[in-house]
Amino acid sequence: MKRLPAIILSAVFFFSLIIVKLIFVMVVDGNTLQVRALDQWTRDLPSDAPRGEILDRNGEILAGTSTRYNIYVRPNSVKDKEKVATIIADVLGYEKSIVLEKISKRVSEVTIATKVTKEQMDQLFSADIDGVYYSEDNFRYYPNGDFMTQVLGFTGADGFGQTGIESYYDKYLTGVNGAIITETDLIGRELQGGKSYYLPSISGFNVQTTLDARIQRIVEGAVEKAVALYDPKAVACLVMDYTTGEIISLAEYPSFDLNNVPRDDLNKLFSASKSMLVSSVYEPGSTFKILTAASALDLGVMTTSNRFYCSGSRVVDGKKIRCWKTKGHGSIDYGQGVESSCNCVFMDSALAMGTDKFYAYLKNFGLRSKTGVDMVGETSGLFISQDLVKTVDLARIGFGQAVAVTPIGMMSACSAVINGGKTIYPHLVKGIIGQNGEKIENVFEIKESKSVIKEETSATMRELLERVVSNGSGKGAGVNGYSVAGKTGTAQKYENGAIAQGKYISSFLGFSLEDDAPYGVLMIVDEPKGYVYYGSLVAAPLVGDIYRSIFDLLAVPKSNDLDIESGFNPENIEDYVDFVEYEN
């Protein structure tokens, strides 16, 4: 009798352990075990989710997804192999003997075909054959091929974005995969009376950009023209709305067809995938004078009535710095200095401001940091450390030497000079759109603009830069009847710390002053070959072509009677002889 309580306690203890174990199995491990059981008694075929489309501002598809189907056969589930092989061979155009050999193998599953069309798949399944299954497979395509290559980017074999918008907005573009689940026995045979379940995939969201495919085609044409005329190392062109920061077009050379990504040539792949407009810096040359003039006028150290004497050079810190016009411009006022791009005027402007004040303006313009544009790999400009700037350095910075900036940064900074003095934030995407067209999210957060320069300074700069196009070095960018402002740039390149003889970057930064087309255009031609390399000769006429086509496309009404081209031939160097610029 004394042993009975001990036996009862032991029994209670062991039964308690069993109950605890059962609770653990049912509650804690329940989901895991159910998944294992489901995996043992079912087969599932993946159903890839269609990737969202990338659209231009008008809804044109820039990157789309096409659905194809993969066909599988489970040999254990096929009752009449001859019949199945015959039907598959007829529909897909295969050799019956090859199909029969595949579906006769002692394996659980064989892949018969990939990238089958919906029409072919419907034919197969309307024949009511057993043991045949399908899964969805989506592949990315780009309707325009070699078009916006750097900005759109591409996807990898796994369907995820690798570069460009495809990478930056991958989390929105990527959908949720589905599956087709079939009940089977332990060796993979479909159960008699078993059920199949279809878990539909969820498509990714569409991304609507600020890009305009129509204007992109215009810009791509200008880039191709630059390549044909000058056989350059590289060409890049950016079009942006300088009032909102919306990027309208971005075209670059060299490039490649997004439907045929050169994965077997890694050097070409990496170099042509990277956007030089956001990921590379360049010496801007005389286009930088836009910022020097705006800063000096806004600060009040210069006025349009100031007069200068240019003898062809200035001596700063004992070093002779030449104007591009070595014989000098003589006595000129500030407006004439901007119009003729006199280096001496801009050296005097920078020196009058001093390093601290000039650098403060450049910081406010955003040039000393990234713009925050929604593209992968953006870098920031390079400047001499403020406490290390010598007087001779400051003088050179005034006319665009001894600095390096990104093209997107240059466009952003100079937009504030033109638009009334307000900062803008470059961006590529307007919003995220659902499959039914509803707006899901506005991913670009509009930041509050700040004033960089006064409105009256901006108005003065618009007038001065318009004179550059109507009377000065930017004549090639002019369009009859329309107001265009801008500045040419020609910068020598450096290699290993020394000037690279015969290598230049030719550029033009223009701004349409028409309300119906408030677009800035930056054209950069890197190392044009031949004796023609000035920004006024190379880049400005290309920008003029772009504006002419944009005004026609948008049916912008003429705003004046200006006849810039009268007696002026952009292809005749003699017509440019007084307007070229070249910094030594």
End-to-end CA distance of the chain: 114
Are 548 and 479 in contact by the 8 Å Cβ rule? The answer is yes
Nearest Cα residue to 463 out of 338, 299, 349: 338
Q: Which two tokens stand for residue 422?
A: 């307000």
User: How deeply is 8 buried, as exposed, middle or buried, from its count of CB atoms within 10 A (0-12, 13-18, 19+)?
Assistant: exposed
Decide the pairing of beta strands 206-209 and 54-55: parallel
In whole angstroms, give the CA distance from residue 194 to residue 248. Answer: 55
DSSP 437-495: S-EEE--S--PPP-BSS-HHHHHHHHHHHHHHHHTSTTGGG--TTS-EEEEEEEEEEEE
Kindly calculate the radius of gyration of the chain based on its CA atoms and give it in whole angstroms: 33
* Short-list 133, 159, 139, CA closest to 44: 133
Annotated domain spans of the chain: 44-209, 213-429+447-576
Using an 8 Å Cβ cutoff, are 222 and 546 in contact? yes
**Can you tell me the distance from the alpha carbon of 358 to that of 206, in angstroms, rounded to the nearest whole number?**
44
pLDDT value for 398 = 95
Predicted local confidence at residue 88, as pLDDT: 87
pLDDT along the chain (584 residues), means of 10: 66 68 58 50 63 95 88 83 87 87 83 85 82 79 96 90 94 81 54 57 89 98 96 97 97 95 88 92 94 97 93 91 90 92 94 97 94 93 94 95 95 97 95 83 74 97 95 91 95 77 92 97 95 90 97 94 58 44 37
* Angle subtended at Cα 185 by Cα 180 and Cα 189, rounded to the nearest 5 degrees: 70
Handedness of CA 181, 184, 190, 193 (dihedral sign): negative
User: What does the buried/exposed string (b/e) look like for 21-59 if buried means 16 or more CB atoms within 10 Å of the residue's CB?
Assistant: eeeeeeeeeeeeeeeeeeeeebbbbebbbbbbbbbbbee
Output the pLDDT for position 21. Answer: 61
Return all residues near 254 (Cβ < 8 A) that are at least 6 apart. 234, 268, 271, 272
Domain formed by 44-209, architecture: Alpha-Beta Complex (3.90)
For residue 218, give Cα distances in angstroms to 237, 248, 524, 551, 570. 11, 11, 16, 11, 19
Q: What is the pLDDT of residue 74?
A: 82
Q: Please give the helix or strand (H or E) that residue 182 lies within, else none.
A: strand 178-183
Residues 6+ apart with CB under 8 A from 285: 399, 400, 401, 489, 490, 491, 505, 507, 535, 581, 583
**Amino acid 299: pLDDT:** 97
Structure tokens at 511: 């701004």
* DSSP string over 539-554: HHHHHHHHHHHHHHHT
CA distance 235 to 264: 24
Those residues with Cβ within 8 angstroms of residue 135's Cβ, 6 or more apart along the chain or in another chain: 45, 46, 47, 48, 69, 70, 72, 180
Find the helix packing angle between 343-353 and 391-398, rounded to 10°. Answer: 130
Task: Write down the pLDDT at residue 395.
Answer: 95
Written as one string, the DSSP assignment of 338-361 is HHHT-HHHHHHHHHHH-HHHHHHH
The count of other CB atoms within 10 Å of the CB of residue 440 is 13
φ/ψ (deg, to 5) at 168:
-60, -40
**What is the Cα–Cα distance from 525 to 375, expressed in whole angstroms?**
22
Write out the catalytic residue numbers.
Answer: 286
Query: Long-range contact list for 297-303, CB < 8 A, 24+ apart?
Result: 297/334, 297/453, 297/457, 297/460, 297/461, 298/361, 298/453, 298/454, 298/457, 299/353, 299/357, 299/361, 301/349, 301/352, 301/353, 302/334, 302/348, 302/349, 302/352, 303/334
Q: How many C-beta atoms surround the C-beta of residue 445 within 10 A?
A: 7
At 151 the pLDDT is 96
Whole-structure pTM value: 0.83
CA distance 255 to 95: 41
Would you say domain 213-429+447-576 falls under CATH 3.40.710.10?
yes
pLDDT score of 573: 46
Give the count of beta carbons closer than 10 Å to the beta carbon of residue 195: 10
pLDDT, position 396 = 94
Residue 154 tokens read as 């591409």
Q: What does the block give as tokens for 432?
A: 């995220």
Cα–Cα distance measured from residue 270 to residue 153, given in angstroms and rounded to the nearest whole number: 11
Q: How many CB atoms lie within 10 A of CB 332?
A: 20
